[in-house]
Amino acid sequence: MLDFIYYPVSFILWCWHKVFGLVFGEANAVSWILAIIFLTFTVRGIMFKPFVNQVRSMKKMQDFAPEMKKVQKKYANDRQRQAMEMQKLQKEHGVNPLGSCLPMLLQIPVFIGLNHVLRMFTINPYGGPKTENYFFDQAGVESYVHAKLFGTNLGEAIYTGVDMVSGGNAAAGFHWSVAPVAIPLMIIASIATHLTARHSVQRQNPESATPQTAMMNKLTMYIFPLGVLVFGALFPLGLLFYWLANNGWTLMQQRLVYTKIDKEEEARKEAEKEKRANLGPKPGQKPTAPRPGQKPVQQKKNKPSSGGQVKKAGSPHGFAQTGSSAAEKKDAENASAEPSTNGSKENGADVPGLISDSTKKSGRKRR
């Protein structure tokens, strides 16, 4: 039914087992463990781009979280209108809510496929000896069956009473001989699950916190790791190695991607700050000359000061030219009162009995 998942998973596992089988031997448990680990790395490498998009989408949602809260508060009594406004807001900011769930959804089929492929190494639904397992032939099947880690087969689990996760034809019940190998793997996988969830929660914006997100954070940080620790007893050893490798990859990937996005965010803020600084004049910068064809700005006429001085605009150096109207009038009167030596003949000064016009004027003024 799910062969479209089982065949790709078994093919990737087969390729890596061939690679490491050339180094350690095909029947060696190390070859199978490394094949499972690099199967995990291959799948996570394929999903690296969706993971980056997930982080960016979550960052955008945290940036406009206050706007979302306003919409929720405004349309608290109208759920349909609230959903429409939320979709509109997400569309404006270019956020896809499903983008944050895509990497996790893609890992579920891989987990199911690997669990099934590992189980089918020792289970033959048609009875008789096992001759093949998807891409693995009979030699590959026998290689997996005989591969043991500290005397424990990779397909065995602590408890094999549930067919969905059991790993082989072992009798139902507890197999405590597997516990010394399985329990340390379960503890490490649980701690890795907690660290990845905690690192992701620390990146969240406190302003975007809601009761729902707080509940989800507690589930991912505490309940899920506890589930790995408890239900890990049902998983075969090979699947525990997958879980451990998957969480190790996630923790490393988070640190790299988050660091890169933080640097991009700082560079963007610096670019915006520099752009705003370039819009205004720099300190000490002289005004720019008018462009060709630009109309000159008309200067306002200066009003006369209280002392009678008038500032005249138009000086090429910008200095105010002043003059006293009272002083000019006084100089004119003194000039008219003094007899003109150069023009005395014209006024009849040399003719006896005649008085110059200037003398007459001054005389009248004295009387």
Tell me the per-residue pLDDT of 176-197, one tens digit each, with 9 for 90 and over: 888 899 999 999 989 988 888 8
The C-alpha atoms of residue 240 and residue 220 are separated, in whole angstroms, by 19
Asked if pLDDT for residue 317 goes beyond 60, the answer is no
Residue pair 336/364 in contact (Cβ under 8 Å)? The answer is: no
Dihedral sign for Cα 226, 230, 234, 235, please. Answer: positive
> Which stretches does DSSP call E strand in the chain?
148-149, 152-153
Residue pair 147/153 in contact (Cβ under 8 Å)? The answer is: yes
Residue pair 154/29 in contact (Cβ under 8 Å)? The answer is: yes
Residues in the chain: 367
Asked if pLDDT for residue 102 goes beyond 70, the answer is no
pLDDT of amino acid 295: 65
At 18, the pLDDT band (50, 70, 90 cuts) reads: very high
At 219, the pLDDT band (50, 70, 90 cuts) reads: confident
